[in-house]
Amino acid sequence: MTDSETLTCYKHPNRETMLRCNKCERPICSQCAVLTPTGYRCKECVRGQQKIFDNAQAGDFIIAVVVAAGLAYFGSYITAFIGFFTIFASPFLGMVIVEAIKKLIRNRRSRPLFIAATAAAALGSLPMLIARILALAAGLQFGSFNVYALLPLIWQGAFTILVTGSVYYRLTGIKIG
């Protein structure tokens, strides 16, 4: 290869490369390359393609919020009965929430929709978390505290964090940095 044929990354002109985006043909370095099922693409082409698939409708937001909040609220009651197993059940419930949302909105998607569903899942699990905090505070106020009184609060907090994270990551999928 001669100097006239040497390619440099379009974003990093000091990096030599032999790789090109398979959509726009720009030279890209390994840091700028995103592996897709059809080959390497630059981040701009991938972002542009993702925007095409944002097709959620206004009604989808209502459905997603109601389903996520309702199932998370229902699931938050289960933690009182399963204790330690909450750390296994919460991600599973997150998956159930996402699958229910996807089925009801017919797999339409948009980033604001995913954020709304995630926030709804978090809000749906908060009433039980707040109840656990208040119960612990009441116990402390009357002097009846023991270490075991913390466990329901710990499991409820773990549920809120795990179900919210599971919903978000299952809805959003792969992220381009």
Q: 161 lies in a domain?
A: yes
68 and 110 housed in the same domain:
yes
Q: 76 lies in a domain?
A: yes
Q: 177 lies in a domain?
A: no
User: What digits encode the pLDDT tens for the residues 53-81?
Assistant: 678 899 999 999 999 999 999 999 998 89
Q: What is the mean pLDDT of residues 103-122?
A: 94
pLDDT given for residue 133 in this prediction: 93
> Is the confidence at residue 2, as pLDDT, over 60?
no
Q: 8 lies in a domain?
A: yes
89 and 16 housed in the same domain:
no
pLDDT given for residue 149 in this prediction: 80
The percent of residues above 70 in pLDDT, for the chain, comes to 93
User: What digits encode the pLDDT tens for the residues 145-161?
Assistant: 777 889 999 999 999 99
**Containing domain of residue 130, as a range?**
58-172
User: What is the total count of domains within the chain?
Assistant: 2
62 and 46 housed in the same domain:
no
- Average pLDDT value over all residues in the chain: 89
Q: Distance from CA of residue 142 to its chain's centroid?
A: 40
> Is the confidence at residue 51, as pLDDT, over 70?
no
Q: What is the mean pLDDT of residues 2-11?
A: 78
75 and 116 housed in the same domain:
yes
> Is the confidence at residue 176, as pLDDT, over 50?
no
21 and 76 housed in the same domain:
no
> Is the confidence at residue 177, as pLDDT, over 90?
no
Whole-angstrom Cα distance, residue 107 to residue 28? 32
